[in-house]
Structure 1
Amino acid sequence: MKLRDFLIGVATGLAAAVIIKEASDRISPFLPANQVLNNVKFEFKKETPIDGSWIYMQTEDFNNGISTIPVYRGGITRVVNGELETFEFAADARSGVIVELVKS
């Protein structure tokens, strides 16, 4: 095999990898659900330790009266002054910003 043929193969492979990555970002522009949950947990941990957390890995539509956006639903539990507090949240799937937080 000639060096030229090898370099052409490497360049073609790199170009294909870049194209595939760009296409996958366009097809699924959402943040990973685990990353969103870790960001929410990080913010809650600033106040008190958390005992548990969960997130639903599929997006669902959330309507705030003005627009409809895809969100991840999840929850956080923590103990404050001996009392168990449970929060449910909806976080924007594209940015990770919490759009709804309900203490239940």
Structure 2
Amino acid sequence: MNWKTLLLGAVAGFAAGYAGKQIWEQSGNPSPEKVLENVKSAVKKDGKIYGSWILMKPETYEKFDLDYQVYRGGITRHNEGKREQFEFVADASTGTVIDFTHKNI
């Protein structure tokens, strides 16, 4: 076997795999990590984030007589010397935040 042919095949396989991954990420549902990252970027504008979590398994959530598959998560931050806790519910298929609650602790 020629080394050039082997190298060309490996490069082509890598390129096809990378292109497939990019297409899948753009067309598929957002991952729980991506949803959490988006919510954190919105919340951290007003204070430093100290902790965050998200449930990795979608669950059913009802709002206004509509059922959604959602991710639940939360964020803790400090703002002006106060600790704040946020909990959110985000649509698992789009990443859109459906519900957002705030508590001062």
TM-score by length of 2: 0.69
- Give how far 1:65 is off: 2.2
Higher strand share: 2
Instruction: Give the structure 2 partner of residue 52 of structure 1.
Output: 51
Secondary structure in 2 matching 1:40: helix
- Give how far 1:103 is off: 1.5
- Give how far 1:80 is off: 1.3
Amino acid aligned to 1:99: I
Instruction: Give the structure 2 partner of residue 96 of structure 1.
Output: 95
Amino acid aligned to 2:37: N
Structure-2 separation of matches of 1:95 and 1:45: 21
Question: Following TM superposition, where does structure 1 have runs of at least 4 consecutive aligned residues deviating by more than 2 angstroms?
Answer: none
1:1-104 equivalence runs, <5 A: 30-104=29-103
Q: Structure 2, unaligned stretches of length 5 or more?
A: 1-11
Q: Structure 1, unaligned stretches of length 5 or more?
A: 1-9, 23-28
Structure-2 separation of matches of 1:87 and 1:96: 17
Q: Is the 2:46–2:79 contact (alpha carbons within 8 Å) kept by the matching residues of 1? A: no
- Give how far 1:94 is off: 0.9
Instruction: Give the structure 1 partner of residue 3 of structure 2.
Output: none
TM-score by length of 1: 0.70
Structure-2 separation of matches of 1:61 and 1:30: 16
Instruction: Give the structure 2 partner of residue 6 of structure 1.
Output: none
1:20-45 Cα shifts (integer Å, max 9, x gaps): x88xxxxxx53210000000011112
Report how many residues are paired. Answer: 87
Q: Is the 2:61–2:68 contact (alpha carbons within 8 Å) kept by the matching residues of 1? A: yes
